[in-house]
Amino acid sequence: MKKLLISDYDNTLFTDEKTLLANVEEIKKFRAYGNLFAISTSRGYSSIINEIKKFNIPYDYISVNNGAGIFDNTGKKIFYNYMKDEKVKEIENILNDFKNVSITRYYIDNIKTQEKGEQIDINNVKEVVSYKIKGEIEDLTKIKELVEKKLPEYIVSIKDNIKLFINNNENNKEKATKDIINTINENLKIYTVGDDDVDYDMLKKYNGYRMQNSSKLLLENIDNVTTSISDLISKLLILENNEF
């Protein structure tokens, strides 16, 4: 059966340059055999495309910004979903009262960071995919409370006591995987691989493998383990009794 392998990028497909180049060679063989390869990343489109061009990574689909955008290997946009303008304005009104934080706004094809104390026109903030806010834990905790109260449908999380993330709960890697599968519209055997919490739902639902160095959530809940994409591809082809 034709196979589709969907891989996270940072700390999964790319761990170091030497391993990445070995992974690329195995992906070429994998695709030459008629299988499909996709990248699912938290990065924006331009960022991951730069990596793909730099290392000549072959692929069929990419999912960016944790599922907010999906593209094929010609650059055709298959799916695009950003926060609604009225929701962004509500978030911006909350953030406008906090002068001692830096705010990074993620767009499908861009990232813009507003440094501490810098002023912007919130009426010009549109098509934001997600936010990263850095500051003191007291400010982050208050922002989290306000956003959750005002916009309970969004996912708000604090990491390492210095970073707060606001994400559209409609965008995630599991849903992006489903959208890619529906786009292909063929009978496929699906496999996924990643290393972090954002990969968890995707791995849990679609034959997931975790990297050896993974988040605690994955270490405790995902049994299948791999050391690299090249090793995983070799294992998958053996499991399916295929040889090059």
Query: What does the DSSP assignment read for 81-123?
Result: ----HHHHHHHHHHHTT--S-EEEEEETTEEEEE-TT----GG
143 or 159: which carries more pLDDT confidence? 143
- Residue 103 near residue 116, CB atoms below 8 Å: no
pLDDT band of residue 243 (cuts 50, 70, 90) is very low
Q: pLDDT tens across 156-192, in order? A: 999 889 999 998 888 999 999 999 999 999 999 999 9
Taking residues 4-9, report their average pLDDT: 98
pLDDT for residue 43 is more than 60: yes
What local confidence, expressed as pLDDT, does residue 4 receive? Answer: 97
**Confidence at 214, pLDDT banded by 50, 70, 90:** very high
**What residues does CATH 3.30.1240.10 cover in the chain?**
85-168
Task: Give the span between the Cα atoms of 89 and 99, in whole angstroms.
Answer: 17
- What is the CATH number assigned to the segment(s) 85-168? 3.30.1240.10
Look at residue 39 in the predicted model and tell me its pLDDT.
Answer: 98
pLDDT of residue 242 exceeding 60, the answer is no
Q: Look at residue 199 and tell me whether its pLDDT is greater than 50.
A: yes
- Quickly count helices (H) and strands (E) in the chain: 8, 13
The pLDDT score that the predictor gives to residue 135 is: 96
In degrees and rounded to multiples of 5, residue 107 shows phi and psi of: -115, 170
Give the residue, 156 or 238, on which the prediction is more confident: 156
Residues 31, 36, 37, CA angle at the centre, nearest 5°? 95
- Which part of the chain is CATH 3.40.50.1000? 3-80+171-239
User: What is the per-residue pLDDT across 78-107, written as a single tens digit (0 to 9) for each?
Assistant: 998 989 989 999 999 999 999 999 999 999
Residue 244 has pLDDT above 80, yes or no: no
Q: Return the CATH superfamily for domain 3-80+171-239.
A: HAD superfamily/HAD-like (3.40.50.1000)
117 has pLDDT over 90: no
To the nearest 10 degrees (0 to 180), the angle between helices 45-55 and 17-32 is 90
How far apart are alpha carbons 25 and 239 in whole angstroms? Answer: 20
Mean pLDDT score of the chain: 93
More confident residue, 153 or 230: 230
Q: Please state the rounded mean pLDDT for residues 7-17.
A: 97
Most confident of 42-46, 71-75, 156-160, 240-244: 71-75
